[in-house]
Structures are given as C-alpha cells and as structure tokens.
A and B are shown apart, each in its own frame.
Chain A
Amino acid sequence: MTASIRITEAGRAAVTDLGRHRGPGVGLPVNGALDQYSARAANILVANAEGAPLIEALAFDIAFVPSHDVLIAVTGADMLVTVDGVERPMWEPVPVEAGQEVRLGDMLGGMRTYIAVRGGFDVPELLGSCAPDPAIGFGTTLAVGDSIGLHARTGVPVNPYFGISLFNFGVDRPYFGDTACIDVTDGPDIDEFAGTAGLLFEAPYRVSTRSNQVGLRLSGVLPTRVGSGEMISRGVPVGAIEVPPGGELLVLHRGRGVTAGYPVLGVVTSTSLDTLGQVRPETEVSFRRVSLERAARDARVWRERLDRLRDRVGTVFSCLGVTPAGMERAES
C-alpha cells in the first residue's frame, strides 16, 4: 500500500514547492512558496530535497492523518502543532505514527506555515513544478477527505523517549512581528519618479487586505511618476515595486503576471520577499534602500544557514542509519 496522508481539516492549504522556474519564459508566473527560507528549512529537516513538494497552509487550521509512520517538520508562521493532542515543536523533525492526527491551529504571527513530510508528496507537476497556478487552474489544493500520496515510504528515525523532541537542530527562525523592515534595491525605472522616489523610504506603509500571492498593496505616501507616456510592456521581476493608478503601492510577489506596463521603482531583495510572504494585512512596513552587494550578501548568509542545517541533519540521520536520500540541493 502506498503511503499517504488523509486531510481531516483543510483550512486554506495547497501542495507547493520552490516554484515553476521555466514558467515565466512561456507566460506563467513562477509561483511556489512565498516564504522560501521556511519551505526549504522544512524539507531539509526531514532530509528531503529542498525543492520537494510540501504543504503551504495559509492562516487557518489544518489537520491530517498519515497512513504509515512518517517524519514531518513544520516551519513558517507560528502555530500550535499537536500530534494526537500532544504539543510538538515547530522547526524540528517530528515522528508521527500511522493513524495519529497532526493538527495545526492558533496561528499567532505570520501568514504561511509549511509542512514537509519525509519522502515528499506525489502530486501532478506542470513544467517541472507542482506549485499551484490559480490563473490557469493548476495545482493540488487540499479539501477534507483528500488523500495525498507520498513518494517512497522511507525509514523514520525512532525516538525512544516519548514526548521528547527527536532532535534540536537549532534552526535560525525568522521573526514575524507587527512591523516589518523590507530591503529594496533601486529599480531600472527609478528615474521615472525623479525626486519623489525617496518618499518610499521616509514613512511606513500599511498592508492592505487586498494582498495575495500576486502582490501586496500598501497604503502610504506614494512616489509619483514624472513621465506620462504609455510604457511598453516589459518583463517584470518578482519583488518589483510599482505605483499603478488607484492610490496604493504595489509590490509584486511570486504569483505576479510576468509582463507589465508600469515603471519599476525598486526591487525587494530575496530575503525580504520571504518576510513579505509572512506579513498580515494591517502590518506596518518600512522600506530600506540597500545596494545590490548588500542584497547578495544577505542572500548568501541565508544560504549558509540552510547549508549548515542540511549538514547537521545529514550527519545525524546517517548516524541513525536513515539514508538521507535527496539531500542534494535540488532545484526544480
């Protein structure tokens, strides 16, 4: 019998991965986990490839029951995690026995929680990625009663001490608070905003409820475009900051349409995009202008943390005789 999990409470969740990187070349957004650090960490903690399919749960409670003994890890937004009613830690591998119910609830901070299961989910892919694309109706969203298959049944490290964490890997956990500081590099069209571009960095903005995986809308004092000609459509990066008509600032995220006809004032750094994947409506966001070198350095620090975590997990799992298959940095 193939291993699977059965969904007993669905909330708003879907199976995703790090994104459809071949999509933009054919007109599809990249999509994928909005908080890439947390998604990668979840997979690393269960010795999956970083790009393995995992669950992204948005803000609401979710619960499931595995058909076999499995190893899971929960990362991202802070939630109360229980296994058959017993509280278990986030950001650590947690063994779950067949038939036990894993329940996530009471999200305290952040917006998106990630659940990786050792082996990864066996779900349909499009252009090498399972990431949902609501625009074209593709993806595996979860509903009560669904069974989601797992790739190979794999060994689960046994924890001989009931109720005690299997391991404590000491993952660097991001902080999800009521305010966020977002780093931005200059966009290619910053001159279109002449002297008003600096307004972006002067006072905080407030995240609107009309924000989603396509982009975040924020209210505040807006830079204004000086040029008035119709801009020709061009490819637009994830993280692009635009000021379209309508009185709000728009920050594009991973679900963005790949082309747009608005000037790009700035581009949010990759590490800050993860933060934006976790901000709630009404959060106060301040923007900070940084250099490309600074952005690349921060991304490197982020990468090194994940690499160290993968090394630690690999060592421990090998000692326990669990083959850390798929521990390579798989890219979709």
Chain B
Amino acid sequence: MRSPIRIQETGESAIRVIGSSGDREADWRVVHKIARAVTTPGIEGVHSAIPTYDAVLIEVDPERTTLAAIHAIVQAVAGEIDPDEPLTQQPREFVVPVVYGGEHGEDLADVARLTGLSEEEVIAAHLAPTYVIRCLGAPGGSPMLDGPTLPVPVPRLTSPRTHVPQGAVSLAGRQATITPTAAPGGWSLIGRTPLSVLDLSEETLVPYAPGDILRFERIDERRFAELAGRRLTAMETAP
C-alpha cells in the first residue's frame, strides 16, 4: 500500500517532499527511502537529498534536470516504497559514554528546573531510551534523536552560545543530539562525550546513518580522560 506524499515547490533548484500519511514512523521511513532512491547513481541531476523527520529536501542541478522531471522521479520511486518495511534491515548500535553536568553540561541545572525534575532525574531520563538516529543535522552530521521523555519540551536558549564544544550532548524541544564539531548553538548542554565522532577521511564523515541505534552510558571524569579522542564505532554484533 503506497504511502501518501506531498511535494512542495522550494525555489528553482529544490523540492520538499513531505510524508503525509499521518503515521510518524511510516512517514519517516518513506522520506528516508526516497532520499536513498533519488541519490543512487543513474538518477540524473540530483545534487543531494536531506531527509529529516517527516520531509526530505531534494536539491537538483537545474542545468542537468528540471523540477518537472524530479517530480516524476519522486512519484515513481515513492510508488515502489513499502512504508512498513524497516529503513535499515540490520541497524548498527552505538554506545556513547557521557559525563553529565558540571563543566561538561552547564545547562543541566536549568533543564532540571525548567522541567520540574532533579538533575539525577533528567540524567536517568536521558539514559533510559534506546534511540533511533532519525537524521543527520548541522553542523557536520549531528545524530538527531527523539529526545528523552520529559514533562515539558526543553526551550531553546534565549541567547545561543557562540561556541558549543565538540562532543556536547544536548537537548532542545523534544529532540536530543551530540555535536560532532565545535559550533555555535542554542540547545541546552547536559553533558559531553570524550569520543570523537567526525572523521573527514571517511566518505560518510560520521560512523552512523539514519536508522541506526544509539544509547548513552554514564561515565566519570577519570573514564572521560581515558577515552578522550577515541573514535565512536559501532558495537560488535553477535553473529
């Protein structure tokens, strides 16, 4: 059964495709599958696809294709997609060690206050889920996650930081992420991982992809120092 989509004009070199079934999970799978399908070799004129939660922005080279041609391609590939089939058959699993609070998570106390919880309760809520990596965000391939269950969404900072360090573990709204590279940011910092995420020598830059699984693990300062600079890699999976 084909899942419904909507195509929106977004300037002369891009279109936005929205999954409109109303089923959040199915829409997410559909837009990511469309992204994969239109960026496979053989599809002429597509620069890139940026799939997120319910939508994918497809950027084209207007010298090599037309918006009408891309509309037709999207309709054709969408028709082939089974929205119920998992996005990734065998998701990889990543475990991210985190030191919470203190200098590594300067906003933990504020997040606790704003959500009416204790700091330990915020940490426990953050550690509880097995997260699905929903999409890659800026800067540099941040893994975008559905945030932990908190009583209220975490507001964005009223004055964004000019410098969020590499490895920052943060929350905003009902989302969570890790910052692969130092950048400005308006999310609340609750902790930091010592692992290095971004690898410019790799074609994918980051070790994970949408559909993979991620968990957080609490560590202390001593362990943070031991792990500093090591790379985040997928867990070995049992055969």
Contact = CB atoms under 8 A, between A and B. Distances in A.
A136 B200 contact: yes
Given A137-B181, A235-B56, A27 B142 contact: yes
Given A28-B205, A234-B57, A235-B51, A299 B140 contact: no
B53 A295 contact: no
A209 interface: no
Q: How large is the interface on B (under 10, 10 to 19, 20 to 34, 35 or more residues)?
A: 35 or more
A188 B47 CA distance: 20
A331 B61 contact: yes
Q: Which residue of A234, A295, A299 has the most chain B CB atoms within 10 A of its CB atom?
A: A234
B54 interface: yes
Interface in A213-237: 230, 232-237
Interface in A62-92: none
B67 interface: yes
Contacts, number: 138
B49 A25 contact: yes
Interface residues of A, number: 45
B139 A257 contact: yes
B107 interface: no
Q: Which residue of A28, A30, A295 has the most chain B CB atoms within 10 A of its CB atom?
A: A28
B16 interface: yes
Contacts of A25: 35, 39, 48-50
Interface stretch (A3-11, A141-149, A264-272): A264-272
Contacts of A136: 139-140, 181, 198, 200
Contacts of A151: none
A259 B142 CA distance: 11
Nearest to A239: B11
Interface of B: 8-14, 16, 35, 39, 47-57, 59, 61-64, 67, 135-142, 144, 153, 173, 175, 181, 183, 198, 200, 203-206
Given A188-B10, A261-B173, A331-B64, 6 more contacts: A22-B47, A28-B140, A30-B48, A187-B10, A232-B54, A234-B54
6 contacts: A24-B50, A25-B39, A25-B49, A27-B141, A239-B11, A240-B11
